[in-house]
Amino acid sequence: SAEQLFKDKNAGPTIETVAELIKSGKAKKIMIMCGAGISTAAGIPDFRSPGTGIYNNLRKYNLPYPEAIFDIDYFKENPEPFYALAKELYPTKFKPTLTHYFITLLHRKNILLRCFTQNIDTLERIAGLPDDKIVEAHGSFARSECLHCYAEADPDRVREAVFGEEIPKCSSCKVGLVKPCITFFGECLPVKFFEYLDDFLYCDLLIVIGTSLQVQPFASLVDRVESPTIRLLINREPIYEYFDFEGIYSEISRDAFYKGDCDDGIRKLAELIGWQDELEELYTIG
Ligand code: APR
CB-neighbour burial class of residue 264 (10 A; exposed 0-12, middle 13-18, buried 19+): middle
With CA atoms as reference, report the closest residue to 34 among 125, 112, 99, 86. 99
- DSSP secondary structure code for residue 273 in this structure: H
Q: What is the DSSP letter of 140?
A: E
DSSP string over 65-96: SGGGGGBHHHHHH--HHHHHHHHHH-TTS---
Separation between Cα atoms, residue 199 and residue 131, nearest integer Å: 16
Tell me whether residue 236 is annotated as binding. Answer: yes
| pLDDT of res. 1 | 54
Would you tell me how many other CB atoms lie within 10 Å of the CB of residue 164?
Answer: 10
Quick one: pLDDT at residue 232?
Answer: 98
Ligand 1 atom 7, closest CA:
261
From 32, 34, 48, 69, mutation site for ligand 1 pocket: most ligand atoms within 8 A of C-beta: 48
Is residue 120 part of an annotated ligand binding site?
A: yes
Instruction: Please give the single-letter amino acid code of residue 33.
Output: M
Side-chain-side CA neighbours of residue 185 (13 Å): 14
Q: How many other CB atoms are there within 10 angstroms of residue 24's CB atom? A: 9
Atom 5, ligand 1: residue with shortest CA distance? 37
Is residue 138 part of the annotated active site? The answer reads yes
Measured distance CA(119)–CA(254) in Å, rounded: 26
Residue nearest to atom 17 of ligand 1 (CA): 211
Task: Determine the distance separating the centroid of ligand 1 and the alpha carbon of 129, expressed in angstroms.
Answer: 21
Pairing of strands 30-34, 112-117: parallel
**146 known member of a binding site:** yes
pLDDT of amino acid 252: 83
Q: What is the CA radius of gyration of the chain?
A: 20
Quick check: 177 and 167 in contact, CB under 8 A? yes
Q: Would you say the CB of residue 214 lies under 6 angstroms from ligand 1?
A: yes
**pLDDT at res. 165:** 84
Is the CB of 261 within 6 Å of ligand 1?
yes
Question: How far is the C-alpha of 41 from the C-alpha of 233, rounded, in Å?
Answer: 18
Q: What is the DSSP letter of 247?
A: -
Q: Which helix (H) or strand (E) holds 20?
A: helix 15-23
Is 0.85 exceeded by the ipTM?
Answer: yes
- pTM for the whole structure: 0.94
Catalytic residue among 100, 107, 138, 148: 138
Q: Dihedrals φ, ψ of 119, to 5°?
A: -80, 150
Predicted pLDDT at 103 = 98
Mutate to test the pocket of ligand 1, among 211, 218, 233, 257 (most ligand atoms within 8 A of CB): 211
Name the residue of 55, 100, 181, 236 to mutate for ligand 1: max ligand atoms within 8 A of Cβ.
236
Amino acid letter, residue 229:
T
Cα-to-centroid distance, 170 and ligand 1 (Å):
32
CB distance 211 to ligand 1 below 6 Å? yes
pLDDT digits (tens, 9 = 90+) for 56-80: 888 889 999 999 999 999 999 999 9
Q: Going along the chain, which residue ranges are E strands?
A: 30-34, 112-117, 134-136, 139-146, 178-182, 205-209, 231-235, 255-259
Residue 121, annotated ligand binder?
yes
Amino acid making up residue 242? Y
Walk along the chain (286 residues) in steps of 10 and give the mean pLDDT of each run: 52 93 98 98 93 89 94 96 90 90 98 98 96 97 93 91 90 94 95 97 98 97 97 97 90 93 98 98 93
**Beta pairing class for 205-209 and 30-34:** parallel
DSSP class of residue 147? T
Q: Is 122 left (phi over 0), alpha (psi -120 to 50) or beta?
A: left
Answer yes or no: is 17 a known binding residue. no
**How many angstroms separate the Cα of 254 from the Cα of each of 77, 250, 270?**
47, 9, 21
Other beta carbons within 10 angstroms of residue 10's beta carbon come to 16
